[in-house]
């Protein structure tokens, strides 16, 4: 009846001519964009139409009128409001709220945030919320088709609510957002009625410390078919990711989970969970814990390190049950564990797995029948091409969208359709790995860098670049390069190795090219043997002569300290960092460990004191124990004769008669230039006594030559130590001879009577009687 009435009315009007040639007024199309601006040049008002020229002042004003297909464009600035979105869109025409990336559009205040209740097809993009009250920054209830993309959601002091709360939310997604819950009870929660929610590339941050929060969770999942993929979680005292008893079919994959007091991933009764390809480290409790009535859980391809390792300031040291992977209670026998790589590094305990109780990997395998392909190396190289691509939840792309790559340099030991997938979050595309050694000579001030041990990446090495730290560098195809420095100093050597694919690796190390002051041998007073260095035995006084392994360049280390550079290995002697006691010669850089205070003792010996512990270097008389810097006081074992190597085991031939000076009577008689040849009685070590003075140590009896009677008597090798009478200045003449001036009377040692009489310090000047040739 109604239809026929309107049809008849239209016919009558048309036939009467009333409407002929008359058009109805056009209705304006709804705008596709509503604008919200703070401090716009033309002002803003919630009574404005929301155009760019006349924008709204608040987001709420736009939310009140927005419809499906429209976008609310939020300009930069702060908005002190809590916005309720009461309108739905469609999949093709959603309701969208967005801010330009980096605009800084921020909702702030105690109740700041968004509320979506009973709506669908709503998009929030690049918005920031900083709240502080007990309400979520994003509170979504009984809604579907939500897309939260980009932006930051945070709750600060004194908030205790979750930052993002999903209750009854289905078929929705969160991606590329930052969630900060520094005081919140949780970063993100999804209740049992929330399902098919995908969270990707999202970072959740919270406090790590037990003291600041008692039971906080990064991501809490209680519904079905939800996922947390490609994100990161840091902090939180209960767990980074917690899956409750009502959760089912959850995927937790490709996430980086780091330092926090609680578990990394805690599957507490959830069923059908896939925990795959995560990297989890520095959690005080278990890295991955599966317990309660959990069943059908898969833990595969994960990389874990230092979880349950109690050397972190934020850990509760009373908690001692943390492991890398633990399966407990009803989950025992219902959980698959395989293809993981877990390691505690420096922890002495091998019990990094649990099958109700803590145990080693070997024991875990025996007890559970699981983890046949798990590794316990902690080495990144062992994660390459070794994952199970058939594992539940396995991501076809690595974190960040990197494709799977077959590394030809690593055997494919994985399983499933892609045997070259990697464990953990990273699909390694290996760059070259730089390894180099340096050979140094501080006398020549030269260095040779050998990078032959460098490892290629995916492709062969094409070039080596050597940077020597003084502004000079060279690029070449060969792995060895040499360089000479113009000046002493500290230099950083860097080597860059580049593959044929352009990928490169760089490594550098500091070297010290100190100024040498002489080449010496250290003759231990304890056994009169020279100190040598051999890698297998360390430093020991075991050499009769200052041979190659017993020669050291004495160098100026600054601050009144010296360094000893072993010529045998081209390294500085150092006090080991590991125990601050043991001496080794393995350093190319001089710092506090490699420098010593050289103490001149009154008996002509020297002692070496480590500045780290103020302990003295000691040499066992039997050479059985390697030398160490371990003695608090100076005794015989801590004293050394500093012998100048070129002047060790030398003979003295008097120029006046061409005869060798002899410690006659095996040192019992005065020295005399009477020997036709040089044997034991005619051999001396020139000992450095400091201040430009030397002592002559007779080899025949290991006694110093003395200007007896304060120089009034002939010289005799009868002094066990070097005091005033045993000190001489050795003067080198242009004719290659040497002369000795006695410190006691400033007279020159003379081959008296043209060599027919014993030597005596009586010459006022250097003539032929006072000249000797070192042989």
7 falls within a domain: no
Q: Give the CATH number for residue 661.
A: 2.80.10.50
Structural tokens at position 362:
């070997």
What number of other Cβ atoms are within 10 A of residue 487's Cβ? 9
The rounded distance, in Å, linking the Cα atoms of 572 and 510 is 13
Length of the chain: 775
Q: Check if the beta carbon of residue 249 is closer than 8 Å to that of residue 265.
A: no
- Give the pLDDT mean for 136-143: 98
User: H-helix or E-strand containing 366?
Assistant: helix 361-368
Average pLDDT over the chain reads 91
Asked if residues 173 and 204 have their Cβ atoms less than 8 Å apart, the reply is no
| Measured distance CA(152)–CA(104) in Å, rounded | 10
Q: Which one has a higher pLDDT value, 390 or 582?
A: 390
Q: Is 75 helix (H, G, I), strand (E, B) or coil?
A: coil
Q: Tokens 């396995």, residue? A: 394
Specify the pLDDT at position 269.
97
289 and 359 inside one domain:
yes
Residue 349 pLDDT: 64
Q: Using CA atoms, how far apart are residues 253 and 640, in angstroms rounded to an integer? A: 64
Are 625 and 686 within one domain?
A: no
Q: Which of 763, 745, 746 is nearest to 754 (CA)?
A: 763
Per the DSSP assignment, residues forming a β-bridge with 290 are: 267, 327
Residue 352 is given by DSSP the state: -
473 shares a domain with 528: no
Residue-wise DSSP of 520-551: EEEEETTTS-EEEEETTTEEEEEESS--GGG-
How far is Cα 220 from Cα 227, in angstroms, rounded to an integer? 11
Distance CA 511, CA 572 (A): 10
**Mean pLDDT of all residues in 130-138:** 92
pLDDT digits (tens, 9 = 90+) for 237-293: 899 999 999 999 999 999 999 998 899 999 999 999 999 999 999 999 999 999 999
Q: Which of 463, 489, 511 represents a domain boundary (last residue)?
A: 511
Instruction: State the pLDDT at residue 156.
Output: 85
Residues pairing with 510 in the sheet: 492
Rounded to 5 degrees, φ, ψ at 697 are -100, 115
What distance in Å separates the CA atoms of residue 696 and residue 605, rounded to the nearest whole number?
13
Euclidean distance between CA atoms 427 and 133, whole angstroms = 42
Model pLDDT for residues 479-522, shown as the tens digit of each residue: 999 999 999 999 999 999 999 999 999 999 999 999 999 999 99
Cβ atoms of 592 and 558 within 8 Å: the answer is: no
304 in a domain, yes or no?
yes
User: What's the total number of domains in the chain?
Assistant: 5
**Omega cis (within 30) before 158:** yes
Q: 639: buried, middle or exposed (CB in 10 Å: 19+, 13-18, 0-12)?
A: buried
- CA distance linking residue 226 with residue 141, whole number of Å: 16
Secondary structure class of 151 (helix, strand, coil): strand
Backbone φ and ψ for 725, nearest 5 degrees, come out as -70, -20
Whether 610 is in a domain gets the answer yes
Are the C-beta atoms of residues 772 and 737 closer than 8 Å to each other? yes
Report yes or no: 459 and 501 within 8 Å, Cβ to Cβ: yes
DSSP helix/strand/coil, 220 = strand
- pLDDT computed for residue 214 by the predictor: 64
For residue 670, what are its two tokens? 């005065």
Which DSSP letter does residue 644 get? E
Q: Cα separations (Å) of 67 from 85, 122, 123, 145?
A: 10, 10, 12, 15
> According to the model, what pLDDT value does residue 4 have?
35
- According to DSSP, the residues that pair with 558 across neighbouring strands are 561
Domain ends where: 493, 511, 529?
511
Specify the pLDDT at position 6: 30
- pLDDT of 453 reads 97
Please choose, from the candidates 330, 346, 417, 426, the residue with its C-alpha nearest in 3D space to the C-alpha of residue 378.
Answer: 346
Residue found by looking up tokens 């330092």 in the block? 259
- Phi first, then psi, for residue 539 (nearest 5°) are -90, 130
C-alpha dihedral over 335, 339, 341, 342, to 10 degrees? 20
The reply to whether 582 falls in a domain is yes
Domain boundary among 460, 485, 511: 511
3-state secondary structure (DSSP) of residue 412: coil
Instruction: With cut-offs at 50, 70 and 90, classify the pLDDT of residue 578.
Output: confident
**Strand order across the beta sheet in which 164-167 lies:** 82-85, 113-117, 138-141, 164-167, 186-190, 217-221, 239-243, 263-268, 288-291, 325-327, 353-355, 358-359
Give the integer Cα–Cα distance in Å for 403 and 209: 36
Query: pLDDT for 110-124, tens place per residue?
Result: 999 999 999 999 999
Paired with 186 in beta bridges are 217
The residue range of the domain holding 37 is 30-158
Q: Cα(157)–Cα(184) distance, rounded to whole angstroms?
A: 8
Contact 11, 3 (CB under 8 A): no
- Per-residue model confidence (pLDDT) at position 15: 35
In a domain, 185, yes or no: no
What percentage of the chain reaches a pLDDT higher than 70?
Answer: 94
Residues 250 and 378 in one domain: yes
Cα–Cα distance, 447 to 466 (Å, whole number): 12
H helix or E strand, kind and range, residue 266: strand 263-268
631 and 654 housed in the same domain = no
Higher pLDDT, 248 or 579: 248
How buried is residue 434: exposed, middle or buried, by Cβ count under 10 Å (0-12/13-18/19+)?
buried
Residues 330 and 260 in one domain: yes
pLDDT at 364: 97
Tell whether 447 and 459 lie within a shared domain.
yes
What's the burial of 112, exposed, middle or buried (CB within 10 Å: 0-12/13-18/19+)? buried
**Residue 269 and residue 225 share a domain:** yes
pLDDT band at 310 (very low <50, low <70, confident <90, very high): low
Task: Verify that 700 and 712 share a domain, yes or no.
Answer: yes
pLDDT at residue number 8: 37
pLDDT in tens, 434-476: 999 999 999 999 999 999 999 998 889 999 999 999 999 999 9
Distance of CA 596 to the CA centre of its chain: 29
Instruction: Give me the phi and psi of 62, to 5 degrees please.
Output: -70, -40
Reported as type and span, the H/E element at residue 23 is: none
Give Cα 338 distance to the centre of its chain: 28
Same domain, 349 and 272: yes
List phi, psi (to 5°) of 514. -80, 160
Residue 179 within any structural domain of the chain = no
Neighbour tally for 178: CB within 10 Å = 17
CA dist., res. 107 & res. 113, Å (int): 6
- Write down the pLDDT at residue 211: 52
Per the DSSP assignment, residues forming a β-bridge with 660 are 653, 675
User: Strand, helix or coil at 775?
Assistant: coil
540: nearest Cα among 491, 573, 511, 587: 573
pLDDT bin (cut points 50, 70, 90) of residue 16 is: very low
**Residue 208 region by backbone torsions, left for phi larger than 0, else alpha for psi between -120 and 50, else beta:** alpha
Residues 627 and 486 placed together within one structural domain of the fold: no
pLDDT at 428: 87
Helices (H), 90-140: none
* Same-domain status, 580 and 667: no
At 3 the pLDDT is: 35
First to last CA, the chain: 139
């Amino acid at each position: 009846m109604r239809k026929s009435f309107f049809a008849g009315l239209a016919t009558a009007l048309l036939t009467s001519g009333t409407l002929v040639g008359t058009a109805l007024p056009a209705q304006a199309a709804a705008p596709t964009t509503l604008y919200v601006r703070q401090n716009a040049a033309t002002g803003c008002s919630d009574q404005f139409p929301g155009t760019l020229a006349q924008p709204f002042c608040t987001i709420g004003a736009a939310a009140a009128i927005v419809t499906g297909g429209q976008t609310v464009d939020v300009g930069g600035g702060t908005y002190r409001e809590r916005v309720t979105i009461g309108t739905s869109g469609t999949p093709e025409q959603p309701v969208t709220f967005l801010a330009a990336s980096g605009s800084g559009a921020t909702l702030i205040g105690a109740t700041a945030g968004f509320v979506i209740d009973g709506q669908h097809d709503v998009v929030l993009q690049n918005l920031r919320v900083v709240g502080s009250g007990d309400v979520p920054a994003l509170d979504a209830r009984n809604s579907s088709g939500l897309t939260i993309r980009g932006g930051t959601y945070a709750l600060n002091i004194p908030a205790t609510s979750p930052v993002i709360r999903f209750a009854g939310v289905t078929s929705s997604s969160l991606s590329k957002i930052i969630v900060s819950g520094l005081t919140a009870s949780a970063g993100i929660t999804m209740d049992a009625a929330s399902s098919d929610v995908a969270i990707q590339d999202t970072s959740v941050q919270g406090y790590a410390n037990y003291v600041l929060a008692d039971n906080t969770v990064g991501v809490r999942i209680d519904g079905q078919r939800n996922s947390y993929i490609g994100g990161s979680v840091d902090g939180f005292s209960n767990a980074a990711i917690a899956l409750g008893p009502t959760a089912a079919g959850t995927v937790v994959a490709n996430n980086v989970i780091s330092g926090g007091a609680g578990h990394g991933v805690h599957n507490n009764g959830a069923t059908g969970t896939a925990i795959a390809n995560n990297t989890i480290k520095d959690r005080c409790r278990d890295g991955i814990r599966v317990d309660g009535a959990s069943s059908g859980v898969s833990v595969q391809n994960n990389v874990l390190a230092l979880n349950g390792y109690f050397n972190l300031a934020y850990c509760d040291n009373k908690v001692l049950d943390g492991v890398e992977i633990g399966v407990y209670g009803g989950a025992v026998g219902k959980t698959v564990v395989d293809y993981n790589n877990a390691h505690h590094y420096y922890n002495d305990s091998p019990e990094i797995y649990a099958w109700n109780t803590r145990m080693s990997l070997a024991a875990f395998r025996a007890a559970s029948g699981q983890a046949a392909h798990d590794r316990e190396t902690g080495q990144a190289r062992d994660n390459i091409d070794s994952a199970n691509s058939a594992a539940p939840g396995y991501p076809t792309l690595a974190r960040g969208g990197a494709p799977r790559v077959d590394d030809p340099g690593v055997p494919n030991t994985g399983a499933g359709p892609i045997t070259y997938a990697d464990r953990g979050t990273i699909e390694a595309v290996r760059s070259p790995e730089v390894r180099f050694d340096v050979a140094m000579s501080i006398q020549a001030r030269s260095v040779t860098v050998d990078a032959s041990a460098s490892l290629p990446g995916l492709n062969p090495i094409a070039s080596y670049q050597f940077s020597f730290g003084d502004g000079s560098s060279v690029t070449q195809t060969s792995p060895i390069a040499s360089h000479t420095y113009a000046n002493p100093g500290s230099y950083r050597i860097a080597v860059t190795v580049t593959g044929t694919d352009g990928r490169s690796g760089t490594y550098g190390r500091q070297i010290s090219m100190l100024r040498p002051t002489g080449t010496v041998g250290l003759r231990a007073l304890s056994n009169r043997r020279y100190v040598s260095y051999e890698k297998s035995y360390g430093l020991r006084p075991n050499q009769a002569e200052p041979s190659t392994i017993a020669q050291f360049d004495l160098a100026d280390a600054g601050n009144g300290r010296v360094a000893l550079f072993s010529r045998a290995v081209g390294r500085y002697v150092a006090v080991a960092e590991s125990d601050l006691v043991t001496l080794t010669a393995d350093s190319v850089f001089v710092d506090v460990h490699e420098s010593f205070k050289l103490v001149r003792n009154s008996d002509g010996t020297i002692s070496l004191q480590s500045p780290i512990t103020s302990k003295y270097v000691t040499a066992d008389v039997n050479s059985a124990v390697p030398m160490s810097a371990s003695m608090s006081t100076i005794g015989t074992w801590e004293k050394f004769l500093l012998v100048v190597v070129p002047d060790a085991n030398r003979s003295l031939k008097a120029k006046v008669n061409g005869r060798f000076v002899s410690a006659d009577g095996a040192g019992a008689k005065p020295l005399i230039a009477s020997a036709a040849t040089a044997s034991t009685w005619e051999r001396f070590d020139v000992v450095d006594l400091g201040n430009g003075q030397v002592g002559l140590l007779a080899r025949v009896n290991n006694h110093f030559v003395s200007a007896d009677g304060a120089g009034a008597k002939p010289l005799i090798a009868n002094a066990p130590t070097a005091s005033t009478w045993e000190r001489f200045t050795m003067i080198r003449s242009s004719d290659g001879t040497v002369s000795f001036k006695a410190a006691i009377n400033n007279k020159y040692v003379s081959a008296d009577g043209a060599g027919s009489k014993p030597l005596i310090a009586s010459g006022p000047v250097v003539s032929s009687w006072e000249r000797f040739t070192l042989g």
